[in-house]
Every structure is written in structure tokens, then in C-alpha cells.
A and B are shown apart, each in its own frame.
Chain A
Amino acid sequence: MGKKVAKEVSIAVAEAVAQCNVDVISAYPITPQTHIVEHLSELVANGELDAEFVPVESEHAALSVCIGAAATGARVFTSTASQGLLLMYENLFIASNYRLPIVMVIANRSISGPISIWNDHSDVMTTRDAGWIQLFAENGQEAVDLIYQAYRIAEKCLLPVAVNLDGFTLTHVVEPIEFIDDELLKKYLPPLKMKYKLDPRNPITIGAIGIPEIYTESKKAQDEALKASYPVILRAWREFARLTGRKYNPVETYYMEDAEVALLIMGSLAETAMNAVDYLREKGKRVGLLRFRLWRPFPQREFIKAIGKVKALGVVDRAVSHCSTGGPVGIEVRSALYQSNKRPRVVNFIAGLSGRDVTVEDFVEMFERTYQALKEKPKAAYEIYGVKE
């Protein structure tokens, strides 16, 4: 195993992408994604990475370039955030329907308006239905590992993968990172060979019109493909653990074995939430924490298993779904529970919008409020937490 080096997470992620020997990179600058693509263009300019860097005029074009390149059989990379992701929007759905193994890093940032460059999950949550595999990293090591894994998963499933990193709070921090060595990576990630691609030696048609007689079947086929990615993802993680000793699961748990009240969260805030769990455990409270690493395909079975016997679950959303039945995660969690026999009380907090600090004390407070829900049903389906009156 390699040794740990201190790196800014964005730089480390770029180096992992370079290690994966990408062929075409196309991106457009947007805070807080910039360091990733700046570093990649530097690697290309210095001849350290043999790839084409296509410096496009917009994010829509960036994903369009990736679609064209991936359809031609190249390993591709792009990265964006916030407004950039929204500008890509129509292409997201096309990329997944065309079954293109694109890997994209989203440096999660809030969306306008009002304009804000800080972190939350409101950008990626608009893409829930886009048919991409969606992964969320908690720390720098995980960010790097998810890159290696994303290429393997994307190429085995022929589906695009988005790796979500919290903007600034994860992308811009320096952390000790252990890179997988190149020889090992070769074993883990074989060269990309696409059976169907744009090649004059075997002409195919991509992007035909979906008349009513076949549109439903096309969508069903796509749905099955995303469903089928689930065991492939688990296998990719098992194999990764065998090679590196680092274990990955769709749902991570912290003190869940005997928990009666738990919080559920995604992304890097989980580390703060863990401190709150430690604090409350010391006081004898049976609390635990859940974190979705895999968001699409939704890890239904693992989630239901992971909640164990909790009586109340506080779901911490990082995005608003205005006047619906919850935050994006809250809505899905309630729906997932309804398909199971478990019925914990669900409290839905929307917190940490636009980089607003969520402290250990805040999490302790959310735990307390979730405890209260055991006695009294929450009045509203969700609550925007920490609003200054």
C-alpha cells in the first residue's frame, strides 16, 4: 500500500482522474469546481497526462463534448457545480439513456437565486430523476476512491456516474490521502472497450427518435440497467476492499446496532454529526447515524436493514423542495419506509443551506427534536432549520 500524502482534495481528485488514464476532459470553470479542472489541464499541458482537454464555452457544451467522445469509445471526465449543472440539464437525461459511461464530479453548491457560491445539495437534487448513478463522498480519501470506483462502475454498467463532493468544505480542504498504485489500478480498472460506438467500420445510429411505440420500452430498459447496476456497485466495492482494505457500503452506519433514535445525512457533514453522536452516547443516549453514500440507485434494502430498530429518524436534507412533502431525501425516505414494515417517526430538517454552519450543537438539537417526535408527532412535514427570526 502507498503512503499517505497531504493534498487539497480537489487536487487529489484530479490526480485520481489522471491515474485512470482518461482520454478526453471537457469542462467549464465554476466555483468551487475550478481547482479540479485547472489541475487536470495543467497535467495535460505538462505532458503528464495524455488526454485531450477541450476548453469549452459552457457547461452544456462540456457535457455535449463528453457525450460525443464517450460515444466514440473514449474515457471521459467532466466536473461542474450549481448553475453549471443546471445548464447541462437536458444532456444529463440523454447521456444516461444513451448508456454512456461518463464520470462527472459535482462540487456541490447551492443554486441561484439568490446567487451563492457556498455548499449545499440543491444542485444535485434537481437531477434525481436523470438516470445517473449518484455517489456522495464524506472525506478526501473517499473522494479519491470513489473516482477509481466510478470509472469501473460506469464502464461495467454503461451508465454515467456522478461523484458528489461538498463544495469548499470538502473540495478545498487539505487531507491525508492514500492513492492506489498504478499497477493495482490496472487490475481494478481494465481499459475501456465499448462494443457499440461511433466507428465507420461498423456504422450504428445513436439518438433515434422515440416514437410512442418504443419510448416506454426504452425507458423500461434504462430503468432495468440502473437497477442492475446495484450488484455491480457492491462487487466493485468488495473488490476494492480486497485490493486496498478500504471498505465501502451503500449506507454507512455509526452506532446503529442498538440505536433508538438516529439522524440520516449525506456528504461531509456526517463527520460533524458523528461528534454529536459521540457526545450523546457519552451521556447514555442510544443515538446513531446513517449516511447514504449511494443515492441512485436508491439502496432500499440496505437502508431498511440499516435503520435497525430506531423509533424515530431525523432526516437532514441539504436542499429545499418548495412546499412539497419534505426535503428531497425526506420524501424518498418516507416512501422507502412505506414499502417496508418499519414505521419509525420521521422528522425532516432542511439545514446547512448555502454553507450555513451546522455545528455539533445543531446536531444535538436535531437529535433532541427527533426524540420529542416520539412523544408528539411533528406538526409540519419538514422544517427549514435554523432560520433567524
Chain B
Amino acid sequence: MRKELKRFKGFTLKNMPREEFFAPGHRACQGCGTVLPVRLALKALGPDTIAVSATGCIEIISSPFPYTSWRVPWIHVAFENSASVASGIEAALKVLKRKGRFPKRKKVNIVVFAGDGATFDIGLQFLSGALERGHNLIYICLDNEAYMNTGVQRSAATPYGAHTTTSPAGKVIKGQVTWKKNLPAIVAAHNIPYVATANPAFYLDLMNKVKKASLIEGPCYIHVFSVCPTGWGCKPEDVIKVAKLAVETRVFPLYEVIDGKYILNRKVDKPKPVEEYLKLQRRFRHLTPEQIEYIQKRVNEEYEKLVKLCECFPAS
């Protein structure tokens, strides 16, 4: 086990911090499942945190000047470069501590919140650079599977078959034609100390992963399944249900990669059919039975691959 994690004590319902660092009153849509992980992550990180956001829904809904939802220091610069901005903050704190211009012993978490577009597409190079350089930061990808802020256009995170405004369900082409890019795998290939997937429906698990990331020295990446009721066409009250089904159908498995060792957090031996997950969302309503069958097959294959990785490279 990593030495930093020896001190790790998980959150429970009993010791869950009461304090909120993401204030209510923000402008997110009703039931937004992208803002929820931000609130949970900040709860886990506490006040000694500096947050960076990429342009996107979270940035827009949290900062209509003169209001702000951020009770920790926060900066937004542009769409693609949050990983670099965070690298700069980390480098600054390191040297300022060394030169006695910032309290030496004060541990500050540097956390990025960036959408799937900002992470999979336009910002991938920036993320890769920051991971490779080994900055001590936490990068949280809020994956709502499209460019929501600009009106639901497809990204490399959009799942196969999904309707978006640039992968429309047309008469000939029926939604997104490509399979979702496996970003956690790409990130893990950077050999960083900590990679995890998380889901706000499993909120203690999510908070614990964020907490672990804050303890671990070096770059940490958490990939968060972030339901967007507006873009996915599901009911606001079904957001948590959809998020849970993503795990129960194996669409979005929960796992960690710690120093290259894989841990499957939730084995799904008796998966629910993916159709149950798909049918709650209007973005999939045009799917043909063949398409659903293809998704089912591919979801199982991807899951099996992950199980193999966990068997081949188990955490001790």
C-alpha cells in the first residue's frame, strides 16, 4: 500500500463534514448531476484548497459576477488549459513555501474541475503535460458526455448511439457513431500514482477517492460520471437512478488504479440489461434493437477487460 494512504480514514455518514464549500444559489439546471460531485469533492477536501475550473457548465453556473459559489479560492482561465493553470499554482506554492513567503507546513489541495470536452478533446495535451511533469494536483473530470454549456454537442466522451446536436439521430446516421474514448486508461498510461472512477450516486465512495487523492503526492485523476438531465433528456428526479444504473449495468464501472495496481470497487456479477439504463434517457430513444445489442455486447467486453486487468495487476 502507498505510504500516504496508511493515514487514510474513510468518510462515513457519521463523520461526514457538515461544512459546505460550494454555496447554494448557483445557476445549474434542476437536478444537475455535474454540480453535485463538485460539492461532494470540496466537502472531502476542506477549506485548504485552491480550485481551478475549465470553461463549461460549472464555471458558468457558479460565477455570475458579483456572485460566486466558491468558498475556496477559485480561478477560471480558459477552456482547455486548467491542467496548466493548476501546474502554475502548484509550482508557485512550492517555491513560495521554500522561500518562506507561504507557510511551509500548510498543505494546500490543488484541484481541477473540467468537463469531458475540456478533458477528452481540447485539453488532452494540457492534461497529459501536467501528468507527465508530475505536479501534485487532483484533476477531476466531470464527464457529462457532451459539450453541455454550448448546447449539447458531441465530444469524444459521448457514448455510442447517443443523440447530440452534432451527432443527431438522423434518418441515415443514428446518433454518435464512435465508441467512447477510454480516458482513464489513457491517464493510467502516464503511470501516475492514482486514477479512479467515481459516481455521485455512490457519494461516500466518491468522497473517499477525493480524500485519497488529496493524501497522495503527485498527480491524481478522478473520472466522475456526471448526469446532465438537460442534455441527456432524463427527468431531474431520475438523475441518481440513472447514475446508479450506469454502475449496475456495467456501463460505468467503479475502479481505482493505485501505482498501476487495479481495484474493482464494485463487482457487478449480475448486471442489469443496458436497456434499462438507456430507456430512461431521451438521447437514446431512437436506438434500434441491433444498436442496443451492440452496446450490450461492447459494454460486457469492456467490463471483462477491466476484470482481467484487476486479475493481472491486483492491489496487494
Which A residues contact B (CB, under 8 angstroms)? 23-24, 26, 50-52, 54-58, 60-62, 64-74, 76, 90-91, 94, 98, 191, 198-200, 202-211, 214
Chain A residue with minimal CB distance to B126? A61
Judged by a CB distance under 8 angstroms, whether B84 is at the interface is: yes
CA–CA, A23 and B129, complex, Å: 20
Which residues 235-258 of B have a CB within 8 angstroms of A? none
Residues of A within 8 A of B47 (CB): 200, 203
Contact across chains for A52 and B81 when beta carbons are under 8 A apart: no
Residue of A nearest to B130 (CB): A61
Q: With A24-B88, A207-B63, A210-B65 as known contacts, state yes or no: A91 contacts B78, CB within 8 Å.
A: yes
15 cross-chain CB contacts under 8 A: A23-B96, A24-B88, A54-B91, A56-B87, A57-B129, A60-B80, A64-B126, A69-B91, A72-B89, A73-B102, A198-B50, A205-B63, A206-B75, A208-B64, A214-B66
* CB–CB A23/B65 < 8 A: no
One digit per residue, 1 when the CB lies within 8 angstroms of any chain A CB and 0 when it does not, for chain B 54-86 equals 000001100111101011111111101100111
Q: Inside 8 A of B95's CB, which chain A residues have their CB?
A: 23-24, 50-52, 74
Contact status A52-B94, CB under 8 Å? yes
Q: Determine if B52 is an interface residue (Cβ-Cβ < 8 Å).
A: yes
A57-B125, A65-B88, A207-B76 are contacts. A50–B98 as well, Cβ < 8 Å? yes
Shortest B227–chain A CB gap in Å is 23
A200 lies within 8 A of B78 (CB) = no
Q: In the complex, A60→B82 CA distance in Å? A: 11
Closest to B86 in A: A68
Q: Is the CB of A54 within 8 A of B88?
A: yes
Bound-state CA distance A210–B63 (Å) is 9
Docked pose: A76 CA to B95 CA in angstroms? 11
B residues in contact with A91, CB < 8 Å = 77-78, 81
User: How far in angstroms is the closest Cβ of chain A from B239?
Assistant: 24
> Are B74 and A68 within 8 A (Cβ)?
no
Chain B interfacial residues counted at CB < 8 A? 48
Closest to B50 in A: A198
> Nearest chain B CB to A61's CB is how many angstroms away?
4
Number of A-B contacts (CB under 8 A): 164
Which single residue of chain B is at the shortest CB-CB distance from A57? Answer: B129
Chain A neighbourhood of B99, CB < 8 A = 23, 50
Within 8 Å by CB of B65, from A26, A55, A214, lies A214
CB contact under 8 A between A57 and B64, given known A23-B95, A71-B89, A200-B47 = no
A72-B88, A206-B74 known; A200+B50 contact, CB < 8 A: yes
User: What is the bound-complex CA distance between A182 and B178, given in angstroms?
Assistant: 60
B89 CB to nearest A CB, Å: 4
Q: Which residue of B lies closest to A62 (CB)?
A: B84
B285 touches A (CB below 8 Å): no
A83 to B128, CA, bound (A): 21
Q: Are B87 and A203 in contact (CB under 8 A)?
A: no
Q: Are A198 and B81 in contact (CB under 8 A)?
A: no
Interface residue from A90, A198, A199, A204 paired with B78 (Cβ < 8 Å):
A90
Inter-chain contact B129/A61, CB cutoff 8 Å: yes
**Cβ contact of B85, chosen from A50, A67, A204, A205, cutoff 8 A:** A67
Whole-angstrom CA separation of A219 from B101 in the bound complex? 32
Given A51-B95, A57-B126: A200 and B73 within 8 A (CB)? yes
Could you say which residues of chain A place their CB within 8 Å of the CB of B78? 64, 90-91, 94
A23 CB contacts on chain B under 8 angstroms: 92, 95-96, 99
| B15-56 interface bits toward A, Cβ cutoff 8 Å, 1 = contact, 0 = none | 000000000000000000000000000000001111011000
Return the contact of B93 from the options A72, A94, A203 (Cβ within 8 A): A72
How far is B85's CA from A62's CA once the two chains are assembled, in angstroms?
A: 9
Nearest 10 pairs of A and B residues by beta carbon: A68-B88, A64-B84, A57-B129, A207-B76, A65-B88, A72-B92, A74-B92, A208-B63, A69-B88, A68-B85
User: How many angstroms between the C-alpha atoms of A90 and B89 in the bound complex?
Assistant: 19
B133 at the interface (CB under 8 A from A): yes
B108 contacts chain A at the CB level, 8 A cutoff = yes
Residue in A closest to B74 when the chains form the complex, CB atoms: A205
Residues of B within 8 Å of A72, CB to CB, are 50, 88-89, 92-93, 96
| A contact residues around B73 at 8 Å (CB) | 198-200, 202-206
CB closest chain-B residue, reference A206: B75
Q: Which of A52, A202, A207 contacts B91 (CB 8 A)?
A: A52
Q: Are B88 and A26 in contact (CB under 8 A)?
A: yes
Q: For B76, what are the chain A residues with a Cβ–Cβ distance below 8 Å?
A: 206-208
The CA-CA distance from A64 to B66 in the complex, in Å, is 24
The residue on B at minimum CB distance from A90 is B78
Q: Check A68/B49 contact, CB under 8 A, given A56-B129, A208-B64.
A: no
- Decide: A56 and B84 in contact? CB cutoff 8 A: yes
CA distance A70 to B95 in the complex (A): 12
B71 contacts A203, C-beta separation under 8 Å? yes
Which of the residues B70, B72, B89, B98 comes within 8 Å of A68, measured between beta carbons?
B89
Q: How far is the CA of A214 from the CA of B64 in the complex (A)?
A: 10
